[in-house]
Structure formats: C-alpha cells, structure tokens
Amino acid sequence: MNDLALQAAGGVGVITAIIHGALGETKVFARARIDPARTKLLLRFAWQAGAVAWAGIGVLLAIAPSMISQTGRHWIIAVAVTSYGVGAGTNAYATGGRHFGWMALTLACVLALAGW
C-alpha cells in the first residue's frame, strides 16, 4: 500500500507540473506585459524551472518503491513533501485559495507521507 501511495504521489506531482507549465504559457505569460522582453523571458524560464523540478520530483517518487535503500526513499519523500508543501502554501496564499494547484500539491504531499 505504501508503494502505491508513493506512485500515486509521483503521478499527481507530474500531472500538476505539466498543468502548471501549460497554464503559465497559455494564461499568464500570453497576457503579461513585462518590459524589457529579456525580463519576461527570465520570468518564463523561472516559472518553467519550477515545473521541471516538480516533474522530476514526481518521477523520483514514482520510482522510489523500486529502490533498495530505505534511506534514499525517505530522503526523496522528505524533499518532495518540502518542495510540494512550499508550492502548495504559496499557491494557496497568492491565489486566496481559489486555484486548484494548492490542492493538487497538498494531495501529493499527503500521498508521499502515506508512502513513508
């Protein structure tokens, strides 16, 4: 059951990352008026770096059950819960709780902790 929870946490993390990246490109930066253009480009890269990190952590969570090392598994979970937890908290605060992203990341945290 713990392994299934970790794999589910990884799947939720990857899906959330993909949605985060796509919404950033289609909704946020498509409408944003940021000058100079290089600053807008830098912000886009920073936005997408977060999405890539969340996806990478999701992949690590999904493969954690196949690891032999329990210590490695626990470190992956700790990093995932920290990263997703900060993302969930800042998302909930910044959007006043009106965006689904904080709920998805919180779910990933809960599932990862269930897989401890």
* Residue 1: predicted pLDDT: 84
- Ordered by start, the domain boundaries in the chain are 2-114
Separation CA 5–CA 10 (nearest Å):
9
User: Which amino acid type is present at position 8?
Assistant: A
Say what percent of the chain tops pLDDT 90.
92
pTM beyond 0.75: the answer is yes
Separation between Cα atoms, residue 111 and residue 18, nearest integer Å? 19
- Please write the tens of the pLDDT for every residue from 64-73: 999 999 999 9
d(CA 104, CA 16): 7
List the helix and strand counts (H, then E) for the chain. Answer: 4, 0
Q: State mean pLDDT over 44-61.
A: 96
| Other residues' Cβ atoms within 10 Å of the Cβ of residue 102 | 21
